[in-house]
Amino acid sequence: MTEDVNLRRVPRQTRGQQRVSKILSAAAELFAEIGYDAATTNAIAARAETSIGSLYQFITNKDAILEALSNQYKAELAELFSSLSPNPNSSVEMMFGQIVDTVAAFYAARPGFQVVFYGSSADDELAEAADVLYQTIIASIDGLIDFYMPGLEPTRRTLSALVSVKAVKSL
């Protein structure tokens, strides 16, 4: 659970932290199964096996749940990309292969991520959450490209990162 999300009340005890984590997991599952628009806080609470009152004790509404999930995914992505340490003995092709494999495993383990990341431009909350994740991924790939191709002009490097993300999104 991330600390930078605007929770109604930040859980201090382990039990409360586990409850919020369970609510976010339930929301991710529901968003993946039926979509963000169709999911309700009542359905999320039921899936999390908690009361709606417990949900509202910590989280103000469905948009706050989306924001919390987005922040959680952003933190997990930052950790994931920091674990992809550049290796001076490997090629840029090997690095991109490692990125694709790692991101594919991340997607597979988090079906709710796809709903948030691919978002919907018609839904402002989803579009905003998707953009935050998108910029995080692009910045991480940009940094890896800079390591492997230090002479590449910054605008071309960023464009390469952008094209890479677009290619993975289209798979």
The total domain count for the chain is 2
Nearest alpha carbon to residue 143 among 72, 82, 62: 82
Torsion sign, CA atoms 102, 107, 100, 70: negative
One domain, residues 114 and 165:
yes
Domain boundary, last residue among 23, 46, 62: 62
Is 165 within a domain?
Answer: yes
Q: How far is CA 161 from CA 45, 71, 97, 137, 165, in A?
A: 38, 21, 14, 8, 6
Residues 149 and 166 in one domain: yes
- Contacts of residue 142, Cβ cutoff 8 Å, sequence gap at least 6: 157, 158, 160, 161
Write down the mean pLDDT value for the chain. 85
CA atoms within 13 A on the CB side of 95: 23
* Domain boundary pick from 40, 62, 84: 62
Residue 9 included in any domain: no
Whether 102 and 162 map to the same domain: the answer is: yes
Is 124 exposed, middle or buried, given 0-12, 13-18 or 19+ CB atoms closer than 10 A?
exposed
Contact at 8 Å (CB) between 14 and 96?
A: no
- Residues 78, 34, single domain; the answer is no
Place 6 in a pLDDT band, splitting at 50, 70 and 90: low
For 14-71, the pLDDT digits (tens) are 888 899 999 999 999 999 999 988 999 999 999 999 999 999 999 999 988 988 998 8
Whole-number Å distance between alpha carbons of 4 and 72? 10
Residues 57, 128 within the same domain: no
**Crossing angle for the helix pair 124-148 and 92-109, nearest 10 degrees?**
150
Query: Confidence band (pLDDT; 50, 70, 90) for 3?
Result: very low
Whether residue 5 lies inside any domain: the answer is no
Q: What is the pLDDT of residues 68-87, one digit of tens each?
A: 998 899 889 888 888 887 77
Q: What's the domain range around 24?
A: 14-62
71 and 133 together in one domain = yes
Q: In the predicted model, is pLDDT for residue 133 greater than 50?
A: yes
